[in-house]
């Protein structure tokens, strides 16, 4: 009897590919497969030659780039010295998630499919190209493709005699069991405090708890948008960065939402628990201390403010004791109900917490151990670093617009991370923010004589502030900045700083204030007006051009 084992490997940036990979994992359990679902970079790629059956689920980011959690796998797979037949025993399928409004649509999935084929793999199906632009989203491609995939897999690995596919009406066990601790159990709760002295350079698994040093609004009070210049102290963290790099920040839910969530689900926020995996080979969530309180779990881990996905409603329907609620949840999780779900959730940007409010009978019946299957983890947010270590040693500054907008829902929508950061006033306490630094996509020229032309409207100017500070500290003069905003008096960020550098001869500055005159003026108009200078810098001085929005 051949062992029925399936490995699902994903590369995911925003969580959609991970969600889809988990869905395939659930379907595998229904088909009685032993199944592991892992991020590509958590998997030991050297083992790939021993695998018999693998489904790859991968997103494409930016201009055809692989997601962060498959970058190492990607480098390994494209090594020139891999023997052509090394994956000859592998049956595989590739499911891509992309957006056809980008020129390199599903580039990563197509390239991965081709490369595994080159290395001798046997494709079960053509590569699936899920498209965000489709009316029904990627599921329009994913649903029929998965049906075909299970047909192929069951032909190779038939169900063992006497076993049937587990019906969709049956609820699968959770990933973890949750064991509450009695109040007098001797577990120290010190695990909840973040270590402030990390062992290695800070990373997603070991962020540095940086102190907020300043948090100032840089737009006029009368301006519709609240933009902040926030400074963090990273003394002793071992963090180094250069212009163009990115700081990753791990946000948290606000206390009001946490309290509401606990009330809705009848949870005691102060109860402590430990998690245990229900299946061998499943690791515990890396960022949760053991033991942990419900409050910590909901504040720091569960993304209760994200727009829920189809899989959320599918799992929720299993807990429903109310017929009306269950039917609605089943509709939202069916292929036919996707337009309805889109207008309920995605269009108005309804949050998970708000959706739970709408299904009160079901919500109070959710078993706590299913929380980690039901609600994804809070993802870190990326910000361009807006300062240079040469100008501000041991500090990181960011320029951040506070996200707030209206939809048809009565409550304005608020960005989780920006709302939280904006609320941290260093004059009212010692606030710590978990962060780490990542290499950015922008590299500034090494040659001191190469001029740079930077086009940075709005908060897009952030990485250029870092670059200009860095270059000025090195005594470089060829800095040309095109900056645009609405009104000189309301949202001209860092005005005094730019004007001082202009007066010292370090910066050539062109500004476009779109609303300060009758006809709207944007950075592209200023570039056109100064075409002679721009062309001279490009043609005879080999200038580099950078654009950020």
pLDDT digits (tens, 9 = 90+) for 2-24: 789 999 999 999 899 999 999 99
Residue 134's pLDDT band, with cuts at 50, 70 and 90, is confident
Question: Residue 193 has what pLDDT?
Answer: 46
Average pLDDT over residues 427-434: 97
Decide which of 338, 353, 374 is a domain's last residue.
374
Share of residues in the chain with pLDDT > 90 (%): 90
Question: Residue 206 has what pLDDT?
Answer: 94
Calculate Rg over the CA atoms of the chain. 26
Q: Are residues 147 and 217 in the same domain?
A: no
User: What is the C-alpha to C-alpha distance for residues 247 and 396, in angstroms, rounded to an integer?
Assistant: 8
Q: What is the pLDDT of residues 227-241, one digit of tens each?
A: 999 999 999 999 999
Confirm whether 320 is domain-assigned. yes
Question: Residue 186 has what pLDDT?
Answer: 56
pTM, 2 dp: 0.91
Question: Residue 201 has what pLDDT?
Answer: 92
- Which of 43-47, 56-60, 424-428 is the least confident region? 43-47
Question: Residue 3 has what pLDDT?
Answer: 83
Decide which of 328, 345, 374 is a domain's last residue.
374
Confirm whether 494 is domain-assigned. yes
Residue 45's pLDDT band, with cuts at 50, 70 and 90, is very high
Look at residue 194 and tell me whether its pLDDT is greater than 70: no
Q: Are residues 347 and 268 in the same domain?
A: yes
Look at residue 188 and tell me whether its pLDDT is greater than 60: no
Look at residue 191 and tell me whether its pLDDT is greater than 60: no
Residue 200's pLDDT band, with cuts at 50, 70 and 90, is confident
**Is residue 484 within 8 Å of 494, Cβ to Cβ?**
no
**Is residue 13 within 8 Å of 20, Cβ to Cβ?**
no
Look at residue 155 and tell me whether its pLDDT is greater than 90: yes
Work out the angle at residue 454's Cα, subtended by the Cα atoms of residues 241 and 449, and round it to the nearest 5 degrees.
Answer: 75
Average pLDDT over residues 368-373: 96
Question: Residue 1 has what pLDDT?
Answer: 58
Look at residue 362 and tell me whether its pLDDT is greater than 80: yes
Look at residue 75 and tell me whether its pLDDT is greater than 70: yes
Q: Are residues 354 and 264 in the same domain?
A: yes
Q: What separation in angstroms does the CA of 85 have from each of 56, 112, 119, 121, 126?
A: 19, 16, 5, 8, 20
- Per DSSP, what are the bridge partners of residue 130? 97
Q: Are residues 219 and 344 in the same domain?
A: no
Q: Are residues 279 and 330 in the same domain?
A: yes
**Is residue 508 within 8 Å of 530, Cβ to Cβ?**
no
Q: Are residues 286 and 397 in the same domain?
A: no
Q: Are residues 428 and 517 in the same domain?
A: no
Q: Are residues 261 and 368 in the same domain?
A: yes
- Tell me if the bond preceding 514 is cis, omega within 30° of 0: no
Confirm whether 190 is domain-assigned. no
In terms of C-beta density within 10 A (0-12 exposed, 13-18 middle, 19 or more buried), how is residue 371 classed?
Answer: buried
Average pLDDT over residues 490-518: 97
Residue 185's pLDDT band, with cuts at 50, 70 and 90, is low
Full domain range(s) for residue 99: 5-156
CATH of the domain at 235: 2.40.30.10
Confirm whether 272 is domain-assigned. yes
Q: What is the pLDDT of residues 313-336, one digit of tens each?
A: 999 999 999 999 999 999 999 988
Work out the angle at residue 199's Cα, subtended by the Cα atoms of residues 194 and 200, and round it to the nearest 5 degrees.
Answer: 115
- Which of 2-6, 255-259, 512-516 is the least confident region? 2-6
Q: Strand 208-217 vs strand 227-233: parallel, antiparallel, or unpaired? A: antiparallel
Look at residue 226 and tell me whether its pLDDT is greater than 50: yes
Confirm whether 297 is domain-assigned. yes
**Is residue 251 within 8 Å of 421, Cβ to Cβ?**
yes
Q: Are residues 22 and 118 in the same domain?
A: yes
Cβ-based neighbour number of residue 366 at 10 Å: 22
Annotate 460-471 with b (16+ C-beta within 10 A) or e (fewer): bbbbbbbbbbbb
Domain count, the chain: 4
Question: Residue 336 has what pLDDT?
Answer: 87
Look at residue 372 and tell me whether its pLDDT is greater than 60: yes
Residue 192's pLDDT band, with cuts at 50, 70 and 90, is very low
CATH of the domain at 291: 1.20.990.10
CATH of the domain at 10: 3.40.50.360
User: What is the C-alpha to C-alpha distance for residues 144 and 292, in angstroms, rounded to an integer?
Assistant: 41
Q: What is the pLDDT of residues 287-322, one digit of tens each?
A: 999 999 999 999 999 999 999 999 999 999 999 999
Confirm whether 25 is domain-assigned. yes
Question: Residue 190 has what pLDDT?
Answer: 44
CATH of the domain at 474: 3.40.50.80
Q: Are residues 390 and 243 in the same domain?
A: yes
User: How far does CA 303 lie from the centroid of its chain?
Assistant: 12
Q: Are residues 314 and 362 in the same domain?
A: yes
Confirm whether 202 is domain-assigned. no
Look at residue 491 and tell me whether its pLDDT is greater than 50: yes
Look at residue 434 and tell me whether its pLDDT is greater than 90: yes
Q: Are residues 387 and 465 in the same domain?
A: no
């Amino acid at each position: 009897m051949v062992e029925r084992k399936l490995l699902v490997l994903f590369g995911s940036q925003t969580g959609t590919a991970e969600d889809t990979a988990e869905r395939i994992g659930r379907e595998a359990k229904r088909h009685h497969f032993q199944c592991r679902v892992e991020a590509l970079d958590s998997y030991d790629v050297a083992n790939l030659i021993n695998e018999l059956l693998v489904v790859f689920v991968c997103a494409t980011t930016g201009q055809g780039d692989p997601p962060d959690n498959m970058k190492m796998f990607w480098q390994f797979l494209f090594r020139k010295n891999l023997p052509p037949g090394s994956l000859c025993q592998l049956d595989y399928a590739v499911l891509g998630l992309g957006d056809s409004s980008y020129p390199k649509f599903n580039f990563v999935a197509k390239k991965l499919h081709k490369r595994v084929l080159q290395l001798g793999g046997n494709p079960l199906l053509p590569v699936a190209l899920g498209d965000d632009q489709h009316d029904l989203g990627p599921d329009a491609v994913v649903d029929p493709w998965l049906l075909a995939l299970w047909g192929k897999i069951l032909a190779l690995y038939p169900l063992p005699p006497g076993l049937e596919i587990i019906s969709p009406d049956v609820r699968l066990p959770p990933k973890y069991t949750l064991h509450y601790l009695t109040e007098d159990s001797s577990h120290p709760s010190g695990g909840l405090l973040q270590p402030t002295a990390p062992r290695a350079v800070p990373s997603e698994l070991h962020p540095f708890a940086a102190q907020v040093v300043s948090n100032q609004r840089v737009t006029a009070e009368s301006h519709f948008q609240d933009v902040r210049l926030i400074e963090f102290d990273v003394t002793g963290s071992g963090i180094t960065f250069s212009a163009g790099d990115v700081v990753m920040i791990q946000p948290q839910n606000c206390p009001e939402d946490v309290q509401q969530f606990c009330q809705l689900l009848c949870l005691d926020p102060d109860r402590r628990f430990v998690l245990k995996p229900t299946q061998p080979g499943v690791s515990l969530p890396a960022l949760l201390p053991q033991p942990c309180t419900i409050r910590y779990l909901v504040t720091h881990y569960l993304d209760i403010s994200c727009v829920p996905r189809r899989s959320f409603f599918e799992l929720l329907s299993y807990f429903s004791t109310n017929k009306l609620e269950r039917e609605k949840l089943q509709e939202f999780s069916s292929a036919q109900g996707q337009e309805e779900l889109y207008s309920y959730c995605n269009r108005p940007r309804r949050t998970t917490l708000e959706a739970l409010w709408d299904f009160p009978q079901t919500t109070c019946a959710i078993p706590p151990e299913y929380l980690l299957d039901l609600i994804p983890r809070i993802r870190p947010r990326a910000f361009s670093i807006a300062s240079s270590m040469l100008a501000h040693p041991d500090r990181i500054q960011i320029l951040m617009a506070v996200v707030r907008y209206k939809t048809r829902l009565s409550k304005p929508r608020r960005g989780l991370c920006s709302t939280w950061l904006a609320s941290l006033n260093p004059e009212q306490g010692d606030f710590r923010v978990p962060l780490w630094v990542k290499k950015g996509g922008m590299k500034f020229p090494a040659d001191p004589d190469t001029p740079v032309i930077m086009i940075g409207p709005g908060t897009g100017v952030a990485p250029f502030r870092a670059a200009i500070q860095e270059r000025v500290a090195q005594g470089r003069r060829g800095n040309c900045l095109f900056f645009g905003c609405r009104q000189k008096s309301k949202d001209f960020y860092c005005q005094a700083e730019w004007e001082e550098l202009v007066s010292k001869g370090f910066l050539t500055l062109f500004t476009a204030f779109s609303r300060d005159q009758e006809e709207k003026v944007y950075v592209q108009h200023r570039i056109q007006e100064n075409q002679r200078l721009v062309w001279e810098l490009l043609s005879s001085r080999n200038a580099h051009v950078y654009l950020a929005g």
